[in-house]
Structure 1
Amino acid sequence: MAAFSPVAGFAVSQDPDRLFAQPLERVPDFVFNEAVVRVFPDMIKRSVPGYPTIVENIGVLAAQFAQPHSVLYDLGSSLGAVTQALRRHVQTADCRVIAVDNSAAMVERCSEYLHAQDAMFQELLPAEVIEADILSLTLQPTSLVAMNFTLQFIQPERRLELLSRIRQALLPGGALILSEKLRFEDDEQQALLTELHIAFKRANGYSELEIAQKRNAIENVMKPDSLEQHRERLLAAGFRKVVPWFQCLNFASLIALP
């Protein structure tokens, strides 16, 4: 049984992340399956510096861009932390949130969490959770799109295509909020922030074995870009301005304006 935490935006899992605690003969590629879903709140809290701050402030920022009678998207919604932040902070009339993820396990658990939140709070934005591939999703006109650590899992050659479709769907005055792990073009900076991120994970109780096996699992699945690549791609997609609003170690969040 999981207890809901509106502050963290997650149901607090009773399952600690021990997925890589034992030596594996072969480390498989990382997949957002049921095993990951069970430990995901613990995993992301201990792995992504600044995550609660990013999630809560996506809701705060979204309230500045949400327009009446429009859709708000959470693309790559996982367990719905960003969707919940949008629902809590956006007070604009007749908005609704569409949360999209391609993991059936994530969608099922996200739906349960949103239902739990409905029982705890009144006057939240309505939300719909969809299982779909965002690369093939038809986007409705929208005033706010959030992609929280999602683009890095999209094939690099298809990222511009996706961002261009998001730009075309955005209403004037809307925004894209994009959070991503960064890589750095300066080798010394990359080495320093990589080691600091490892230190962050050690401080949160991960062993050297867990850190190494998780890195092996995810290296073929998650392909981070540099801040410069993000900026250039967003401008190429038709956005006119890209504003970094948050960075903690090698994790950052940007606002892209149409």
Structure 2
Amino acid sequence: MTRKTDNIYASALTEMVDFRFDERVADVFPDMIQRSVPGYATLIAGIGILADKYAIEKTHCYDLGCSLGAVTLSMRQRIKAAHCRIIAIDNSAAMIERAERIVKADNSRVPVSLRQEDICHSPITNASVVVMNFTLQFVPVDQRNALIAKVYAGLEPGGVLIVSEKLTFDDADSAAWFIDSHLDFKRANGYSDMEISQKRSALEHVLIPETESAHHARFAQAGFQRSLRWFQCFNFASFIAFK
């Protein structure tokens, strides 16, 4: 399948609207994510390896905010524990529709259930691995604690939560360096300054990043024994929290 080029913000917009995971975004999402998130392919592969390490026989593995199912496929192709099921959830109809086609074309043995739901209301049960890959940052801040607490309650002992997020920084110099480096990354991948600026405006009220310390504090508050940052590339990081 030919990857379509992300040119959503390539022309000057007369009206700026908030970013949405609609048909336009779903159509170019593979190109958008590869050109916008440094280290994305390595991160996805790593999540598959971690899922295989912590998946428990006869449990569920969740991909919350699954978009087109990259994490779902990575887990599906790696997990060896018997009788596991992957439950992939996204609130975007466009994403789920495409994810269904992508998963159907994959012949791995682990069964997958795809659901169009709001993850804040989805039950989490009998889970050994839960992944939120650049998902929590789109959840309203005042709902994040409850969501992580719900995930913790639904995990079996020995289960893990993997959360990948864009980070912000308390130190102004560090924040400026990471922002500039990420801008350089996007320019190197062919985005113009106008595209970068327009997309930043569209995301301003939709994607709310937090500091690393805020994430660790939330994991601890929910009851997780410990949490680690296992991956970082520029201002994008992934954490694993252990029940």
Q: 2:37: which partner in 1?
A: 48
For residues 198-257 of structure 1, the C-alpha deviation after alignment (integer angstroms, 9 at most, x for no partner) is 000000000000000000000110000000000001101111101110000000001000
CA drift of 1:145 comes to 0.1
- Distance (Å, rounded) in 1 between the aligned partners of 2:123 and 2:232: 31
Q: Is 1:200 paired with 2:185?
A: yes
What TM-score results when the alignment is normalised by the length of structure 1? 0.93
Deviations 1:128-160 (A, max 9, x none): 100000011111110000000000000001100
Q: CA RMSD in A?
A: 0.7
- Matched letter for residue 133 of structure 2: N
What is the alpha-carbon distance in structure 1 between the residues aligned to residue 53 and residue 175 of structure 2? Answer: 34
Partner of 1:9: none
Partner of 1:140: 125
Gaps spanning 5+ residues in structure 1: where?
A: 4-11
Take 1:171 and 1:235, find their aligned partners in 2: how far apart are those partners?
A: 17
Task: Report the alpha carbon displacement of residue 22 of structure 1 after superposing the two structures with TM.
Answer: 0.3
Number of the residue aligned with 1:58: 47
Question: What is residue 7 of structure 1 aligned with on the other side?
Answer: none
Equivalent of 1:236 in 201, 211, 221 = 221
Secondary structure at the aligned position of 2:120 is classed as coil
**What letter matches 2:219 in structure 1?**
L
Query: Is residue 124–residue 155 contact of structure 2 (8 Å, CA) maintained in 1?
Result: no
For residues 70-149 of structure 1, what are the structure 2 equivalents within 5 Å?
Answer: 70-118=59-107, 123-149=108-134
For the residues of structure 2 that align with 1:200 and 1:27, how far apart are their CA atoms? 24
Query: How far apart, in 1, do the equivalents of 2:29 and 2:16 lie?
Result: 18
- Return the alpha-carbon distance in structure 2 between the equivalents of residues 124 and 252 of structure 1: 30
**Residues 1:257 and 2:242 are matched in the alignment:** yes
Match of 1:224 in 2: 209
Name structure 2 gaps, 5 residues minimum.
Answer: none
Q: Number of aligned residue pairs: give it.
A: 243
CA distance in structure 2 between the aligned counterparts of 1:26 and 1:178, rounded to whole angstroms: 33
| Code of the aligned partner of 1:130 | R
Structure 2 distance, partners of 1:210, 1:87, is: 35
1:81-103 Cα offsets, whole Å, 9 max, x none, are 00000000001100010000000
Percent sequence identity over aligned pairs:
46
Distance 1:239 1:212 in 2: 38
User: 2:228 and 2:216 mapped to 1: Cα distance?
Assistant: 9
What SS does the corresponding residue of 1:117 show, helix, strand or coil?
A: coil
Residues in 2 aligned to 1:106 and 1:215: alpha-carbon distance in whole angstroms: 21
Give the letter aligned to residue 173 of structure 1: G
Q: Alpha-carbon deviations, 1:166-220, whole Å to 9, x = none?
A: 0001101110011000001101000010000000000000000000000000011
CA distance in 2, matches of 1:27, 1:20: 10
Dislocated runs of 4+, deviation >2 Å? none
Instruction: Choose which of 163, 166, 173 in structure 2 pairs with 1:188.
Output: 173
Q: Structure 2 CA distance, aligned partners of 1:43 and 1:140?
A: 32
CA distance in 2, matches of 1:93, 1:235: 30
Amino acid at match of 1:68: E
1:124 CA displacement: 2.3
TM-score, structure 2 normalization? 0.99
Paired residue secondary structure (2:227) = strand
Matched to 1:144, the amino acid is V
Q: Which amino acid aligns with 2:140?
A: Q
Shift in Å at residue 26 of structure 1? 1.4
From 67, 87, 100, give the equivalent of 2:56.
Answer: 67
Residue in 1 that maps onto 2:137: 152
1:51 is matched by which residue type in structure 2? Y
Q: Distance in 1 between matches of 2:122 and 2:82?
A: 25
